[in-house]
Amino acid sequence: MTSSDTAPSSLVLSVDAMGGDEGPAPIVAGLARFLAKNAGAHVLLHGPEAELKPLIEKRKITKSVTIVDAPDVVAMTDKPSHVMRHGKSTSMWSAIESVRAKDASVCVSCGNTGALMAVSMIRLRKAEGVNRPAIACLWPSRNAAGFNVMLDAGADIRADEEDLLTYALMGASYARNGLGLAHPRVGLLNVGVEEHKGRAELKVAHDMIAKAAPRGDFDYVGFVEGGDLPSARVDVIVTDGFTGNVALKTGEGTANFISESLRAAFKATPFSRIAALLAATSLGRLKKKIDPRRVNGGVFLGLNGTVIKSHGSADATGVEAALVLAAQLGRSGFSDKLAARVASAAVLAQDGENDATDQNGANDKDEKNT
Amino acid sequence: MTSSDTAPSSLVLSVDAMGGDEGPAPIVAGLARFLAKNAGAHVLLHGPEAELKPLIEKRKITKSVTIVDAPDVVAMTDKPSHVMRHGKSTSMWSAIESVRAKDASVCVSCGNTGALMAVSMIRLRKAEGVNRPAIACLWPSRNAAGFNVMLDAGADIRADEEDLLTYALMGASYARNGLGLAHPRVGLLNVGVEEHKGRAELKVAHDMIAKAAPRGDFDYVGFVEGGDLPSARVDVIVTDGFTGNVALKTGEGTANFISESLRAAFKATPFSRIAALLAATSLGRLKKKIDPRRVNGGVFLGLNGTVIKSHGSADATGVEAALVLAAQLGRSGFSDKLAARVASAAVLAQDGENDATDQNGANDKDEKNT
């Protein structure tokens, strides 16, 4: 459980080529873009070899890609329980297996979220001290990094106070390794910022997270509200998976509604059509800022290994974004650092506060150096 | 509990002049705008007479306004429990009292939400068959009406399956009377549209609402997701007050973030500054469409009387919007219709389904005629 020698000398990623809405073509296209900018990386690409071989030859990336033949595909409609029992020959299973065997540091899949989480759970197993793994997503924000982290975005519909504390620790570790924030600010999502508000488990979690903040090497800013998701006063927003999933889809739905309305406004009159041309560059920059494809990649946290869920409908840009995130996390040795962070918190909780150990201090320093 | 003779011959509204962030001036300004377009309406305006008199004289609306002197003001920081015990001399209390005494049909206040709900609860009391009252808000949407209804937006942080059924009935009644939809479509907010997803109480509520739909005179579309809040496939979205509050603030926060970014994009280059001028009309129309001030007014549902909570920061435009909504609900005799609707559902639930009564059929017809 040390975290000093974890950064792999060379980066290997495991990619599920199948299971996206459009089949393997956009995944291989995104992979080619990624490899063009990451010459040192190697990718294990999982799927039917006969189908994948011509695609990677066409993209001229055969040297950086090893195809791992897996004949079957998990469909979006497959039930997670079915995949868990009968999915051993699928590309998704095979992609996760490479991380389990430590042949690759991070797995990326565009497939069925429920199945991906279920197979990740049974093959990678929960990390020590984690009761409920979570999905962390990036949220466009006013912060310098351009993003905040929110978790759980929907791995589990429930979370008690212990889970929320674990989410705070995992989210802070992800912000350090994924966004490069040395000392992230963590907030707990509630219906108001006042201490007396909200559900009972939130009040307990509030106190537990505040207490854990100094050793967890993050600032706790207290309760935050839905309006703070894009805010510059917090970096990591902690909530249960039901609320997080509704918030995520509400934010995406609102952004889509406004974009649609904006497009319609620019087509409304001849003047506005000219305006659209004149403002094209600036609006393009704005579009890029809030483009959901740029934040593509929900990260499963709390397993023995890192798995990134890309949108099923991701195009080459979206797949590239998920791979860039995977590379960042793989290079930082994130999986082992997160495990060490949560495990030391679990040990602390068992031993009681006054047994504060040097081990924990050492972990803190390791994380700061990422 | 009949609902045939409820529409008041002349409209009287009760308005709390105090408690908004900017004091009574924007409230009186919004009132003047409203009265200019609603000549027949009369308003009972609650607050310190000495302060209000010059304001309504300045606006030349003394004929349509009766000042009800109330010396004290509920502050935004006052705890609801404190206001419940010591708030009898406040303008908020006085404004609610006018609805209780049936001197006015609807109460509008910009004050402290918690206090307004607490005083409304103890003075107006819950309607028969309602366990938890709810706050319904309007959500800008792709529907022809331009809005969907969402409830509960934050009256109570919990809701069980019975409450969710009551919310469906109340939300449908509100959509009929507030938005003029004869046969609203109701959806239940969840983390997926599949029947097996979500919390246990949601699955039970799903079946209960489906069963109640034919008699409740609405269509039940099943589970909806956060992305459906602005959708054209549903009119009324039902959820608990915790989730609803987070969703509402997330939607507002996202809209504000995009607006800010859009303004910055239009200032980025000389070209984009010219573009902003050229597109001004079209963008103005868009802004109006998604302007939160136009949807100003959370309605408390499930009490013996209707109370509208306007934003604390509402300006004249926002106050006017809340008054227009109040007038619409007052003229439709909404309070009595809602009470009849929920009470008949409660009677039905007690008697069992096969005792389906003519009484309920009669109520259906009344509601259809609004």
Give one DSSP letter per residue of A187-241, joined into a string: EEE-S-SSTT-S-HHHHHHHHHHHHHHHHHT-EEEEEE-GGGTT-TT-SEEE--H
Asked if A233 is an interface residue toward chain B (Cβ–Cβ < 8 A), one would say no
A24: distance to nearest CA of chain B, Å? 26
Q: What is the pLDDT of residue B270?
A: 75
**At A343, is the pLDDT very low, low, confident or very high (cuts 50, 70, 90)?**
confident
Q: What is the pLDDT of residue B131?
A: 94
Task: Using an 8 Å CB-CB cutoff, list chain A residues near B289.
Answer: 261
Among B residues 302-361, those touching chain A with beta carbons less than 8 Å apart: none
Farthest CA pair distance, chain B: 72
Q: Do B271 and A249 touch (CB under 8 A)?
A: no
Asked if A255 is an interface residue toward chain B (Cβ–Cβ < 8 A), one would say yes
SS3 track for chain B: CCCCCCCCCCCEEEEECCCCCCCCHHHHHHHHHHHHHCCCCEEEEEECHHHHHHHHHHCCCHHHEEEEECCECCCCCCCHHHHHHHCCCEHHHHHHHHHHCCCCCEEEECCCHHHHHHHHHHHHCECCCCCCCEEEEEEECCCCCCEEEEECCCCCCCCCHHHHHHHHHHHHHHHHHHHCCCCCEEEEECCCCCCCCCCHHHHHHHHHHHHHHHHHCCEEEEEECHHHCCCCCCCEEECCHHHHHHHHHHHHHHHHHHHHHHHHHHCCCHHHHHHHHHCHHHHHHHHHHHCHHHHCCEEEECECCEEEECCCCCCHHHHHHHHHHHHHHHHCCHHHHHHHHHHHHHHHHHHCHHHCCHHHHHHHHHHHCC
Quickly count: other Cβ atoms within 10 Å of residue B113's Cβ: 21
Task: Using an 8 Å CB-CB cutoff, list chain B residues near A224.
Answer: none
pLDDT of B1 higher than 70? no
Give chain A's mean pLDDT.
Answer: 86
A127: DSSP letter? P
Q: Rounded mean pLDDT of A11-18?
A: 96
Q: What is the pLDDT of residue A287?
A: 67
**Which position has the token pair 């010591």?**
B86
The amino acid at B182: A
Q: Do A276 and B275 touch (CB under 8 A)?
A: yes
- ipTM score: 0.83
Q: What is the pLDDT of residue A362?
A: 40
Asked if A265 is an interface residue toward chain B (Cβ–Cβ < 8 A), one would say yes
Q: What is the pLDDT of residue A369?
A: 36
Q: Rounded mean pLDDT of A277-305?
A: 73
Q: What share of chain A has pLDDT > 90, as a percent?
A: 60
Task: Using an 8 Å CB-CB cutoff, list chain B residues near A282.
Answer: 265-266, 268-269, 271-272, 275
Measure Cα distances from A211 to A200, A346, A353, B33 in Å: 17, 14, 10, 52
Asked if B274 is an interface residue toward chain A (Cβ–Cβ < 8 A), one would say yes
The amino acid at A195: E
Q: What is the pLDDT of residue B106?
A: 96
Instruction: Say which of A226, A269, A286 has its CB closest to residue B250.
Output: A226
H-run or E-run covering A8: none
Each residue's pLDDT tens digit, B179-223? 889 999 999 999 987 777 788 899 999 999 999 999 889 999 999
Each residue's pLDDT tens digit, B115-145? 999 999 999 999 999 999 999 999 989 998 8
Q: What is the pLDDT of residue A360?
A: 42
Which residues are CB-neighbours of B304 under 8 A, at least 6 positions away? Answer: B100, B124, B125, B126, B127, B335, B339
- Which is more confidently placed, A365 or A289? A289
Q: Do B252 and A226 touch (CB under 8 A)?
A: yes
- Highest mean pLDDT range out of A223-237, A263-277, A309-323? A223-237
Q: Do A227 and B252 touch (CB under 8 A)?
A: yes
Measure Cα distances from A51 to A46, A72, A265, A365 in Å: 11, 12, 44, 46
Q: Do B248 and A226 touch (CB under 8 A)?
A: yes
pLDDT of B294 higher than 50? yes
Task: Using an 8 Å CB-CB cutoff, list chain B residues near A285.
Answer: 265, 268
Domains of chain A, first to last: 12-125+303-332 (3.40.718.10), 138-262 (3.40.718.10)
Q: What is the pLDDT of residue A350?
A: 61
Q: Rounded mean pLDDT of B231-242?
A: 96
Q: Rounded mean pLDDT of A151-166?
A: 94
Q: What is the pLDDT of residue A172?
A: 96
* Structural contact between residues A153 and A248, judged by C-beta atoms closer than 8 angstroms: yes
Q: What is the pLDDT of residue A4?
A: 40
Give chain B's mean pLDDT.
Answer: 86
pLDDT of B7 higher than 80? no
Beta-strand runs (E) in chain A:
12-16, 42-47, 65-69, 106-109, 134-140, 147-151, 185-189, 219-224, 236-238, 298-301, 306-309
- Which is more confidently placed, A2 or A242? A242
Q: What is the pLDDT of residue A67?
A: 97
Question: Strands B185-189, B219-224: parallel, antiparallel or unpaired by DSSP?
Answer: parallel
Q: What is the pLDDT of residue A286?
A: 66
Q: Rounded mean pLDDT of B291-299?
A: 68
β-bridge mates for residue B107, sequence order? B14, B307
B80: distance to nearest CA of chain A, Å? 12
**At B6, is the pLDDT very low, low, confident or very high (cuts 50, 70, 90)?**
very low
Quickly count: other Cβ atoms within 10 Å of residue A49's Cβ: 13
* Structural contact between residues A305 and A100, judged by C-beta atoms closer than 8 angstroms: yes
Q: What is the pLDDT of residue B264?
A: 78
Q: What is the pLDDT of residue B351?
A: 59
A163: distance to nearest CA of chain B, Å? 17
- Which range is least confidently modeled, A91-105, A188-202, B26-40? A188-202
Task: Using an 8 Å CB-CB cutoff, list chain B residues near A290.
Answer: 257-258, 261
**At B26, is the pLDDT very low, low, confident or very high (cuts 50, 70, 90)?**
very high
**At B288, is the pLDDT very low, low, confident or very high (cuts 50, 70, 90)?**
low
Pick the residue from chain A with its C-alpha nearest to B114. Answer: A197
- Which range is least confidently modeled, A24-28, A278-282, A302-306, A339-343? A278-282
pLDDT of B324 higher than 60? yes
